[in-house]
Structure 1
Amino acid sequence: MLTLCGAVFFVALLPRALAEPLAWTRTPRRWMAAVAGVAAYFALPVLGINAATAADNHFVQILASPHRTGRYVEFDRVPCVPDAGGGRIRTFAGERLQLSGADVEGNATVSIRGRFVDEQTVAVLAMHVHTPAARDVASCIGILMIVGLWGAKLAGWKSRDEKHPTSREQPGMCDWRFAIDAGIGGPAVRSAAVLSRST
């Protein structure tokens, strides 16, 4: 359902996205905000590792414990291969665990709720077998749609810049625009910037 809604939303906004010109902002404040956002994107997950462990997110404390017999556990979308005992899964940490009471035909991706009956065996209480590759295919299609949109926007921006090379051949125009965007310079500078934008 979410995939379908995302596709409808993308198609509905596509004409508007293609029609709007691609404008690069060069104000120092916005560049700094962009760099800070990218840094936070990569840093915050690392800073939150201890909190996630303390909250036992994805049952990491139970999986790391050498004494886990009798403990309840869940696994989300883990690879499973059938065997004589019922099946074996590989956790996100790379550990292989035996399943008891699983009924899997062929290699599959499964989500499981269960309980450890010994240190290496999980008795399955409930299991869901996911449709093969459906999520991966949908993710790849979504990424290709976004890359295609950005490719079209960049191609249009480059083509327009080649047809109207004023901004490259007349650096003064860029300087005026930068001045007014950054809010620097006296009234005369800003007035000249406004005039340059209107011509």
Structure 2
Amino acid sequence: MSVWPEPFSTDGTFVSLVPLSQTHRADLAEATADGELHRLWYTTVPDAAGMEAEIDRRLALKTMVPFAVIDTSTGKAVGMTTYMNIDAPNRRVEIGSTWYRRSVQRTPLNTECKLLLLQHAFETLDCICVEFRTHFVNVQSRRAIERLGAKLDGILRSNMIMANGSIRDTAVYSIIASEWPTVKANLTWRLESQSG
């Protein structure tokens, strides 16, 4: 039985996405310290000490295809992202569990990363829908998802218990196949604008 989707690598101008491995651990431990991302209560970004376990956890999950996000200007891993909640019979994936070191947030790197993942999902995997989820209170993440062109499907109330014991309401967004050409044109335009 084949795995869908298969792990893959893809390259852009600003970013490369490669299958996650323990070889990325030192870079990712350094990246999580940039902005002390692990201290954000509404996310689940590992600290440096927990990076090895987090990489192992992602690699062990059968419903996840994890990537290291490589900044092409430095050759270093600056974050992680995944295809997750994979639903092969219905050709659906979620792009999630994404984080980047603070210094590359709101740069062309994120735009290109999402463009590459969406392009692979819609044009190679023939997905009918790509989903995004985030904590309702994570306004930065919600705005970034909305800038992609994703639409809010709804709020899953009391959806998850966070590490600090608080209850997460999850904002669910999606892009469907018929929207992809417009989303692609917009992301390509935004990438060119950010680059220039």
TM range (shorter): under 0.3
**What is the TM-score with the length of structure 1 in the denominator?**
0.20
**What is the TM-score with the length of structure 2 in the denominator?**
0.21
Structure exhibiting the larger radius of gyration computed from Cα positions: 1
**When you count strand as a share of all residues, which structure comes out higher?**
2
Q: Which has the higher contact order (CA 8 A, sep 6+)?
A: 2
